[in-house]
Amino acid sequence: MQTDSSFTFVLFGGTGDLSMRKILPALYEAHRAGMLAASGKIVAVARHEEDRTGYLQWVNEHVKAHVAKSGIDENAWASFVDRIEYVKLDLGKAEDFVKLRDALQDQSATRVFYLATGPSLFVPICHALASVGLNENARIVLEKPLGYDLRSSNAINDAVGEIFAEEQIYRIDHYLGKEPVQNLLALRFGNALFEPLWRREWVESIQITIAEELGVEARGDFYDNTGALRDMVQNHLLQLLSIVAMEPPHSMDSDSVRDEKLRVLRALKPIDPRDISKVAVRGQYHAGVIRGTSVPAYATESGVKTDSATETFVALKVEIENWRWAGVPFFLRTGKRLADRVAEIVVNFRAVPHSALGASALRAGANRLVIRLQPNETIRLYCLAKKPGEGMNLSSVHLDLAFDQFFKEGQMEAYQRLLLDVINGRLALFVRRDEQEAAWKWVEPILNEWAASGKPKPYAAGTWGPAAASAMLAQHGTCWLEEEN
């Protein structure tokens, strides 16, 4: 998966948290693995450091700590740093963008502009790039959140779309680059075993969870104006749902994959505002204990209003109105300060229609497939087997695809894969505008109802969220999977 040709990767927000934790480490890993063209350059753009020497000092002090668990290869690190150039830039000064244009001397190189900035800067940066002709034959990467609601999202997309064509725009969702999500596609569309079962006749329910132990950290100001529904559901969770539920694409080219995801998003059953309390639970964490350490309530976090009604937890029941999934509930859940850090997809299959093996078979439960995205990336298929000894006593056992055991070569991190896709011009794992619009349209009734009514339900930090989230599943005769190892 080596980059096909020379490139210039321009990183706006070059001293930001995302650049430090994810983007630069991902580029280093691609460099160390020999996946970047030797002539490729990285141009960091920021307004803090005075010159390249100062910026490289910042990179050595802050980025190294976030690079690969396997440690730093000092020779590879030195040659990676040699790729980095720096431009100090003030967005309010047109002459600074002239300086940026002059720094991008290789006209034959593929130009990538990564906007690791707040969304309020997306449009000004795009206009400034266009003013010096840097939008031509370039690619632009937009980080979430792209807007606050459908109207603001459309406004950003309209403005960016006047400067960059849709095929130049890469709206990034890093969950789509995770190895188990790629393996979900392989599992479904590369194996005859699963496709006949991947439908309402055999699937009872599906759960998708993204749980975090962390609170809002130093992002209180941002988070209090965003909330879990905008921050996680509208993008990550609905994107994962669309991959789980999509029809087999004609091929893996970008539009074939994204067309099928769009069909799922458009088939989501609209939520009647009168029914929101039945299918949507919002919560906010109070003080509690996580791994033996006391943690504060959300309302006391720095940057958060003391009377905040912002949700830090969301659980939803979602239905898809199409032939494959009619009547199958999809349960989505995400939250901060929960009992564990885990992201997983759980496919619960229906029980056998008649248990010829007695009561123990019923107690042992039905088959399920667990696709874990983090912290350990695995796919497990749970089946029933007879326990050793006298009698027909059944127990749940599993077949385990542990990637680190089957594949000895190191796994590619999500950002590494996605950045290589941008450089190579592959759009399949990026969100198209019509997908984004369909997702915003579906969540807007919930946003509007929550804005007009009440406060989130409290839950203690270190738990799995409000009891109402469990009660919602109990009404369907199931429960959240919370004890998996």
Q: How far is residue 243's CA from residue 261's CA, in Å, rounded to a whole number?
A: 6
Return left, alpha or beta for 358; rule: phi > 0 is left, psi -120 to 50 is alpha, else beta.
left
Q: How far is residue 469's CA from residue 479's CA, in Å, rounded to a whole number?
A: 9
**CB 91 within 8 Å of CB 97:** no
**CB 329 within 8 Å of CB 317:** yes
Q: Which residues contact 396 (CB under 8 A, 6 or more apart)?
A: 364, 365, 382, 383, 384, 385
Tell me how many degrees the CA angle 354-332-202 measures, rounded to the nearest 5. 25
Check residue 403 and report its DSSP letter: H
Tell me how many degrees the CA angle 424-427-432 measures, rounded to the nearest 5. 155
Check residue 366 and report its DSSP letter: -
Q: How far is residue 333's CA from residue 316's CA, in Å, rounded to a whole number?
A: 7
**CB 44 within 8 Å of CB 85:** yes
From the candidates 31, 127, 236, 354, give the one annotated as an active-site residue.
Answer: 236
Beta bridge partners of 372: 344, 378
**CB 312 within 8 Å of CB 485:** no
Return left, alpha or beta for 466; rule: phi > 0 is left, psi -120 to 50 is alpha, else beta.
beta
Is 250 catalytic? The answer is no
Number of H helices, E strands in the chain: 18, 17
Which of 145, 148, 169 is CA-nearest to residue 159? 169
Q: How far is residue 316's CA from residue 319's CA, in Å, rounded to a whole number?
A: 10
Residues classed as catalytic: 236
